[in-house]
Amino acid sequence: MKYLATPKARRALATILSCLAIAMVVGAVGLLGYPTYTNIRASREQKALRNEFLTSSKLKQAYQAASTPGAAMGTKVTLAEGSAVTRIQIPRMGLDTVVVQGTSNQALAAGSGHYPQTPLPCSPQGNVGIAGHRTMNGHPFQHLDQLVAGDKVILTTPFQTCTYKIVASVDGHANPYVTDPNDWTVIAQTPKPMLTMSTCTPEGTARQRLVARAELVSTTNTVPGASVK
């Protein structure tokens, strides 16, 4: 501690420590505010996505291409990652949000994303997969665990509105259910048209996944002459 022998050196060190303390306080504020920041960012993105959802011609083209006779069930649409795909509403959760294409971290910053390897929403075949945040980024699926059998899940596309109902059980176990984070069978294709929603659990961690599955019960064309069946 010889370098602290002089008052000048002590003052210099005190200044440095003060600066460090300020940086720490700034960091603490940043950390504290980051989850809120992601929520605000997601909210702003949602506003833009709602507009995009209503006006995007590419989105309509994608749904039209997927609905043409002979199109593969697992629609290989070329929607850009992060672009709006569908609007999801779950009354029990008070959820009304726009789902984007893709499930990368960047895409999910908007809140929820459509598994690109699954059919487009309202597909009359297969298993539509949607992942959503449970914490931060608007946390659209925060209350996914509260769904019960019969709850409605409404997906809206440029051409249709589809109603799904939460099923009572999936493969013999309760629904929603918890599974491993590597369990990709949750979005495996199904004989009946289904919707599978996934999020992380327990809340605030990514140790496991919470999955809720719903069955397509009705489809309503929102635009006369829509080709999506």
* Residues linked to residue 219 through DSSP beta bridges, in sequence order: 162
Nearest alpha-carbon partner for 167 in 142, 187, 192 = 192
The yes or no reply on residue 25 touching another protein (CB under 8 A) is yes
Binding-residue pattern over the window 138 to 157 for another protein, x denoting contact by CB under 8 A: ---x----------------
Q: Looking at beta carbons only, is 161 or 175 nearer to another protein?
A: 175
114 part of the interface to another protein, by CB under 8 A: no
Q: How far apart are CA 49 and CA 114, in angstroms?
A: 14
Please say whether the beta carbons of 84 and 58 come within 8 A: no
Task: Tell me the residue type at 197.
Answer: M
Q: How far is the CB of 6 from another protein (least distance, A)?
A: 8
Q: In angstroms, rounded to a whole number, what is the distance separating the alpha carbons of residues 221 and 42?
A: 29
**Footprint (CB under 8 A) of another protein, residues 160-189:** 181-184, 186
Contacts of 28 (CB under 8 A, 6+ apart): none
Give the DSSP H/E element, type plus range, for residue 151: none
Interface residue with another protein, options 2, 3, 31, 191 (CB under 8 A): 31
In the complex, minimum distance from the CB of residue 209 to another protein, in angstroms, rounded to a whole number: 5
Q: How many residues bind another protein (CB under 8 A)?
A: 52
Query: DSSP 3-state assignment of 86?
Result: strand
Residues forming contacts to another protein in the complex (CB under 8 A) are: 4, 7-8, 10-11, 13-15, 17-18, 20-22, 24-25, 27-32, 34-35, 38, 103-105, 108, 113, 131-137, 141, 181-184, 186, 198-206, 209
